[in-house]
Structure 1
Amino acid sequence: MRKIAIALFCGFLIIGVALLGVRGKETTGQLRLQLVDAESGAKLGGMVRITPVDGKKPVELPGLLDRLRGLKKTEKLTGWYVVPASGAMTSLPMGKYRIEALSGLETALADREIDVIATPQTATIKLTHLFRPKEQKVVAGNTHLHLQGISKAECEEYLRQVPAADGIKVMFVSYLERAEIDKAYVTNRYPIGDLKEFEPTGVIFNNGEEHRHNFEAWGEGYGHVMFLDIKRLVQPVSLGPGITAKGNDELPLRPGIDDARNQGGTIIWCHNQLGHEDVPSALTGRLHALNVFDGNRAGTFEENYYRYLNIGLHMPISTGTDWFIYDFSRVYAQVNGKLTVKSWLDALKAGRNIATNGPMLWLSVEDRPIGDTIGLEKPGGLRIVARGVGRQDFQKLQVVQNGKVIITETATKNGDKFEAAIDRNVRVDGPCWFALRIESETKNELEQQLFAHSSPIYVEVQGNRNFEPEAARELLKQLEKARDDIRARGKFSDNAARDRLLALYTDAARDLNAQIKRRK
């Protein structure tokens, strides 16, 4: 009897230990994440961050793509992961968590709690739209992206997931060269042209080229310029010993720009005013658009964007993200007809667009949309209607006329969004342009300072465009500064080669001086 009792005791002990072991393993719960449109129930792509309710540090989400791949993480910039429209499965230690979720720039930030238990479960997170680009027939595009330091497989997964989850519909990657370092440029492995393999993502991809020159390995030179929707690479891709580690500085960007234009390509100057050849290129009509804040916050709208507009140039504004998609930066362009690479670029070149990493902007002058030209026979009053809507507090909505802020409206919180509206009559005494922008110190979820700016609406009086001599004189100063810098830093085989290069700047200055004299 005693042996039986001992045997039973041992058996129960073994079972108990086994049960305790099983319970010890049940510390992790399976969680499926699904983002949906709060109104329609349609599945959405986006990004999420999950934090214990009793902690400050977000948890890792195995099985999900790190949205911050390639970026420098900080205490504030951490924990965001991609959730495709099809949803995603992850696992978490059991406990209570806070889930933050959003989809691109177009939804409010959802914030809810969940109790992760041993039983697998689904968290369906409803996202409220702040605006719907499709209803306004505007399409989000990113004109500037490269990836480096990751494998081809990791690159494929990044391109398949991140742009779609961010709400990008047209994505331009581009080929570029730098001596030795470019071996890590994984996006260089794609062919020039449309990348059909990414069509199932719902994003149109095209591979172009970044044509560039630097005097040193980094910093300023003749500049960087994007060639989009080209048929073949423009050679040489990079210019000067600073980037190529060979040769000299005798070849400007102009022949490459002309080659790309002859191919039917779209030419976009990169990095705002960085580089010397932007002014000669703009004055001769070789640029289709100007990228601002694509890679950093260098420069201001006043340099050189407003100067171009103030001498009568029609110049659309644009943007992108350069290395990895470190920001929500995009161009919303109003596309006519079927969406293609060409139709989107045509919309950009026509100036029917805004550039933003935060709020959506709307602007009309006398019911004419962004990109239009209004013809007046004489000075008079014009009605300006403007609106901004965004997830963060964009603080000030501003109407700009000829580079000067003429109307400011403070953004106010309304439910899940911040918004501001303007409806004002303005007197016009001569040719001018109007644009809408924000002024804000607020940062978005990717820890980037907010910006948003429309392309202009132009006003001509008796067929004349605006021309401000002061803006022209500022550009003349830049041309002279560029010539001095080229003389000091450029490497040339002889003086004749140097003078041929400098002739681009001399000719541009002569033509600009002639315009100033004609308007005296």
Structure 2
Amino acid sequence: MVEPVSRGDLVSDFDPDYPPLCYACDDAKRQGGIVLWCHNGIGMEAPVAAALGKLDAFNLFDPFWADPEYDIWYHLLNCGISLPASTGTDWFICSNNRVYVQTDQEFTYENWLRGLQGGNTFITNGPALFLTVDGTMPGGRIDSPNGVPRKLSGEISWHSHYPINRVELVHNGSVVQRKDFNEAPEQNGEWGFDLEIEADGWIAARAYGDARDSFAQAIYAHTSPVQIGTGRSPRHRTGVRGVFCPLN
């Protein structure tokens, strides 16, 4: 048993803010476990736990890019804090959510966990989504361009039972390229892209469709990022405080 089990409104009959969840992270690590942070839409402890290196991955539940969980995750990535994407079942809203891991070796539980911690993942409630950037998969790192403009080439591919309406390329938290298939949604496809960079940061892919899964949730998928250099985007090099002010 790892204590505390929860903080905040779920335990508001007691002290909702103490002990902090970082204590639970430490307890899990002492037992040889891994830590995935979840349900942090309005809480502010996640950035602290991430900055202190207590997290192995970040659980993202709702398939809506405006969700606060994605805002926090994108900001953490922009700070150069490498946090793989994870997800899972919880309640009816996300009962189809799954995280898939590329093990690159024999499929064992230990290798799966190492792949999860390494960021070789994508999350989904249906579609399979794959990304390569200059031959590098999510969880990998590309050398820093050190201020010299450099063109990257990559590919996004997807396979889905339900049709996909849009595929997006995300660079440092912003959609920089996208493909729309509203007139003829595609279940399977490939998209090659070029992207010019000149600084550190990260790249990921996401996809979604108008179709609904068996729990009436929109179809979606999101890869973990490919990091460029330190992973820290130039506009966030002034420090963590400036990054998180908009979320307060």
Q: Is 1:466 matched up with 2:233?
A: yes
- 1:373-427: CA deviation from partner (whole Å, max 9, x where unpaired): 011454311101111221212210011111111111124758xx61342212211
TM-score scaled by length of structure 1: 0.43
1:419 to 188, 201, 218: 188
**Residues 1:210 and 1:455: Cα distance change in structure 2 (over 3 Å):** farther
Q: C-alpha deviations, 1:455-501, integer Å up to 9, x for none?
A: 001111xx6743433894241454xx4xxxxxxxxxxxxxxxxxxxx
* Cα offset, 1:430, TM superposition: 0.9
1:448 is aligned to 2:217? yes
Secondary structure of 1:332's aligned partner: strand
The answer for the alignment partner of 1:121 in structure 2 is: none
Separation in structure 2 between the aligned mates of residue 270 and residue 257 of structure 1, nearest angstrom: 12
Question: Could you tell me which amino acid in structure 1 is paired with residue 235 of structure 2?
Answer: E
Q: Equivalent of 1:348, from 105, 116, 120? A: 116
Contact in 2 for aligned 1:353/1:455 (Cα 8 Å): yes
Deviations 1:47-71 (A, max 9, x none): xxxxxxxxxxxxxxxxxxxxxxxxx
Instruction: Quote the Cα distance in structure 2 between the aligned partners of 1:292 and 1:374.
Output: 25
Provide closer, same or farther for how the CA distance between residues 248 and 385 of structure 1 changes in structure 2, counting only shifts above 3 A: closer
Instruction: Work out the percentage of aligned pairs sharing the same amino acid.
Output: 29
**Equivalent-residue separation in structure 2 for 1:399 and 1:248 (angstroms):** 39
1:447, distance to aligned residue in structure 2 (A):
1.3
Deviates more, 1:266-275 or 1:423-432: 266-275
Helix, strand or coil for the counterpart of 1:391?
A: strand
SS in 2 for 1:450: strand
RMSD across aligned C-alpha pairs, in angstroms?
3.0
Q: Provide the rounded CA distance (Å) in 2 between the counterparts of 1:444 and 1:342.
A: 31
Q: What residue is the counterpart of 2:151 in the other structure? A: 381
1:394 aligns with 2:130: no
| SS in structure 1 of the partner of residue 163 of structure 2 | coil
In structure 1, distance between residues paired with 2:65 and 2:131: 24
Q: For residues 20-41 of structure 1, give each alpha carbon's deviation from its aligned partner in whole angstroms, at most 9, with x where no partner exists.
A: xxxxxxxxxxxxxxxxxxxxxx
Cα distance in 1 for partners of 2:93, 2:48 equals 30
Given that 1:310 and 1:471 are in contact with CA atoms closer than 8 Å, whether structure 2 keeps it comes out as no
Structure 1 residues 248 and 282: alpha-carbon distance in aligned structure 2, compared to 1, 3 A threshold: closer
Aligned twin of 2:53:
285
Question: 2:10 aligned with 1:213, yes or no?
Answer: no
Opposite residue 365 of structure 1, the aligned amino acid is V
User: What does 1:185-200 correspond to in 2, within 5 Å?
Assistant: none
Amino acid at match of 2:74: Y
Contact 1:409 1:420 in 2 (8 A): no
Partner of 1:311: 79
Measured after TM superposition, the shift of residue 251 of structure 1 is 1.5
Cα deviation, residue 271, structure 1:
2.3
Deviations 1:112-146 (A, max 9, x none): xxxxxxxxxxxxxxxxxxxxxxxxxxxxxxxxxxx
Alignment of 1:223-302 (within 5 A): 242=12, 245-246=13-14, 249-293=17-61, 299-300=67-68, 302=70
Letter in 1 for 2:82: H
Q: 2:135 is matched by which residue type in structure 1?
A: D
Structure 1 stretches of 5 or more lacking a match?
1-174, 176-207, 219-240, 482-520
> Are 1:408 and 2:178 an aligned pair?
yes
Return the offset for 1:368.
1.2
Q: Which residue of 1 aligns with 2:103?
A: 335
Deviation at 1:283, TM superposition (A): 1.5
| Cα offset, 1:302, TM superposition | 4.3
- Shift of residue 325, structure 1, vs aligned partner: 9.0
What is the TM-score normalised by the length of structure 2? Answer: 0.84
Gaps of 5+ in 2: none
- In 1, Cα distance between the equivalents of 2:102 and 2:71? 26
In the alignment, does 2:139 pair up with 1:371? yes
Residue identity matched to 2:219: L
How far has the Cα of 1:327 moved from its partner? 3.0
Partner residue, 1:321: 89
Distance across 1 between alignment mates of 2:222 and 2:84:
10
Deviation for aligned residue 1:324? 6.6
Q: How far apart, CA to CA, are the structure 1 residues paired with 2:187 and 2:177?
A: 18
Residues 326 and 288 (structure 1), Cα distance of their counterparts in 2 relative to 1, 3 Å cut = closer
In the aligned structure 1, how far is the partner of 2:216 from the partner of 2:228?
37
